[in-house]
Structure formats: C-alpha cells, structure tokens
Amino acid sequence: MLYQLSIKNSSSNALSFCFFFFLLKIVKLLPLISPGAGKVLAPALLACLGRDPQRFCSVAEARVLMGTAPVTKASGSFRVVRFRRGCWKFARRTLQLFAEQSRHQCYWAQAFYEKQRNSGHKHHAALRALAHRRLKILLAMRQSGSLYDEDIFLNSQRRYLLKIPMLKN
C-alpha cells in the first residue's frame, strides 16, 4: 500500500516537475518578451493572463477584471471617474508593479508616466494608466504570438495618429 502511494506521488511530482521546467523556460523568455518582467513578475503576469488566449472576449473585459479601468459615474451634466475597487486585486497589483518596472526600461512608458503626472494624476493613478496601456499590448502579443518590439508599438501609434509623448533631450 505504501509503495503504491509513493508511485502515485512520484508520477504527479514528475508531472509538476516537467511543468516547472516549462514555466522556467517561459520565465527566462518573458524579459525578452516584455521589458520590465523579471524573474518575479514574469510568473505573476503569466498567472494573470492565463493559458487560454480566448479567456477574455475583449481587451476592455480584461481591463475591468484586472482593475486598470476606472469606474465612470454619470448623471445629466454630472460626471465623475473613480478608482475601481471591485476587481482581481492580485492582477491589479501585479500589473501596477509591471508598469513601474517597465517605465524604467521603455522611454515611451516613462514619457507616458510623466505626461500623466503633469496632467495632475498621482503616482499610483499614473501607474494604473500605464498598466492599462501595457495590458493591451500584452494581450495583443499573446493573441498574435509575437515578441515585444518597441518600434512596432511606436509605428502603430503613429499610424493611428495617437499622441506620443516624447522625452526632452
């Protein structure tokens, strides 16, 4: 009986051991996939995004679930935008940490953060806005199966005539 129990445990351990090495490979590749995702944030980002590419119907649904989208309340001429409290807290924290790390490695992310701060947002609100944008990029990369390329991102922003904040030299 004890022998059978150890066989069952060893097969599940072998399966988890293989899965661990699969995750380790992905974790080593994720800093290349997206700047700012290191050995600690990479597995957390993988947990947030999940394995199924069709998990979210739209980017807006993912943003609401993960807490980067604010809540807008409007009635007549009254309109207020508030912090989203009803969300997956782990995902919001992970994306905010990812935004903090990525702004030190991508010049456009730092410029976007500074633009948010100059417009009156506090530190965490500016990071959530950056996380909001980074989440859309991560989901698009997962959908297409491509690696992160900053030139592609900047060219697509120019192509769609979006305002790109530039750093002063």
CB neighbours (10 Å) of residue 12?
Answer: 10
Q: What gap in Å lies between CA 8 and CA 90, rounded to an integer? A: 33
User: Contact at 8 Å (CB) between 46 and 23?
Assistant: yes
User: Contact at 8 Å (CB) between 166 and 110?
Assistant: no
User: Contact at 8 Å (CB) between 150 and 143?
Assistant: no
- Torsion (CA) 23, 28, 30, 36 in degrees, nearest 10: 130
Range ranked top by mean pLDDT from 20-24, 47-51, 79-83, 151-155: 79-83
Residue 88 has pLDDT above 80, yes or no: yes
Decide which of 24 and 148 is more confident: 148
Q: What integer pLDDT is reported at residue 9 of this predicted model? A: 45
Q: What gap in Å lies between CA 165 and CA 31, rounded to an integer? A: 24
pLDDT band of 165, cuts 50, 70, 90: low
Mean pLDDT of 78-82: 92
pTM for the complete prediction? 0.75
Q: What integer pLDDT is reported at residue 17 of this predicted model? A: 46
